[in-house]
Structure 1
């Protein structure tokens, strides 16, 4: 979480655990899944020796298992009733977030980097949104939720955000965490960042590192809590 370095998938996953705990307490109808869900479904090169059909079948099984075990870890009984379902993506050295939004009936992409001129949507995002839409629909059907048919027809949208930038190559993970923290599916959305505001992003790195260390979901928070509080207090006073 230091300055000017990429963050690891585990950091984003830990933050998703914290967000799930917070949103469970606040009843915000939002749920956050780990990187593994999309990685196993779309990004991983595992099972390359299988046929295309068999490979996708195996990938869906891994996707379903990831969701099922994650819900157990988060003490969440079911995805039923949730309106925003967040799936962080790490592909080609870049983090972004896909959101299944049952309110707007869309699969939305939250990405701090805009499309480069001349690069089509399909080249950057491949068929990942379509695969997520289909796999999540299958998951709903498998678990007896009628919403599955509607999800199959959800529109895929790239959410426009004024703070997007092509000039920052290292903070995509922080942007992804901030987007998950602040997005509630509303058209008028401000995550509190501006394009290339490096001081604000540095502050967020510190804030998120602190939260992950001291939050109750961290099984070692008792070991880290006092040291972290002392350390960050000293930094703020400098």
Structure 2
């Protein structure tokens, strides 16, 4: 059995946010810049910019650099060079990359348009019954689940999203409060029944989310969530043979899915054209490294520029 969680910690007090605080922004975007869904969505049809090429080369084309070196830090959560290098072509993406992607998407939600649903992205969760976590009691599981939501919790949230990563496999579980639906976004083969493919994971997540909402005094929302039944969403770009791309597809689904059951949903990728998916690997790598929430952003700029300068001196061409 597996449950979405973080490392076991005591549950911190959950702050209640009112609507006015939720919409407050340190920088007030104007016009079309207000919505990341319209202007900040990564476009796989665009090529890499000079800066994007530079920072991705610094990570992906720098074999002599230490793999345990931190290249992203946010609130004590680190991503190493070796972990982000899993975004290289032909590799299965590390679940910690999906964790960091959740952090970045939560940051982008601060600049969403007021008409857009407020999405919350919990960090990918460790398994509580795989030997890594000793205490699998009901109380501790609830604590770990709550801790997975706390970094992004907002009492005005409309959709809750979990990026689930296992060995050579990843998918998204989205719980929508307004739409009252629980959706599974999975690019892998659909031959197996949901019960065989996902076990009781969706049911456990729904139950834990219901408990969490009730703890925050949202009794009606908690009741509605518990009544949800997870359903797998179909989409035309699903390619079950592209096993190495399950992770990047999951990141794309997290970025583009709005919790509406897939109506009008266009992820910008196609099973007939692999180029966008390959490009997204580099785009996401650069996006993570260059994110304004990255405490090591100055280091990324300076060291990538230094490496590029050294290479040009060796080969002026």
- Give me the TM-score of the superposition, normalised by structure 1: 0.83
Which residue does 1:58 correspond to in 2? 140
Which residue does 1:162 correspond to in 2? 236
**Which runs of structure 1 show a deviation greater than 6 angstroms over 4 or more consecutive aligned residues?**
229-232
CA distance 1:230–1:124, shift in 2 (3 Å): farther
CA contact (8 A) 2:95 2:166 kept: no
Which residue does 1:235 correspond to in 2? none
User: Which residues of structure 1 form unaligned runs of 5+?
Assistant: 72-77, 233-238
Which structure has the highest helix share of the two?
1
Alignment partner of 2:97 out of 4, 11, 34: 11
Root mean square deviation of aligned Cα: 2.4
SS at match of 2:299: helix
Aligned equivalents of 2:253, 2:172: Cα separation in 1: 8
The answer to whether structure 1 residue 206 and structure 2 residue 295 are counterparts is no
Which residue does 1:104 correspond to in 2? 179
1:174-204 CA deviation, whole Å, 9 max, x = no partner? 0011001111123220101111532111100
CA contact (8 A) 1:18 1:217 kept: yes
Farther-moved stretch of structure 1 (17-26 vs 193-202) = 193-202
- Give 1:47 shift: 5.4
Which residue does 2:149 correspond to in 1? 67
1:105-150 CA deviation, whole Å, 9 max, x = no partner? 111101112312xx22111111010000000000011111131111
SS at match of 2:230: strand
- Give me the TM-score of the superposition, normalised by structure 2: 0.63
User: Whose Rg is larger?
Assistant: 2
Which residue does 2:300 correspond to in 1? 224
Aligned equivalents of 1:190, 1:82: Cα separation in 2: 23
Aligned length: 217
Which residue does 2:120 correspond to in 1? 31
Aligned equivalents of 1:159, 1:191: Cα separation in 2: 13
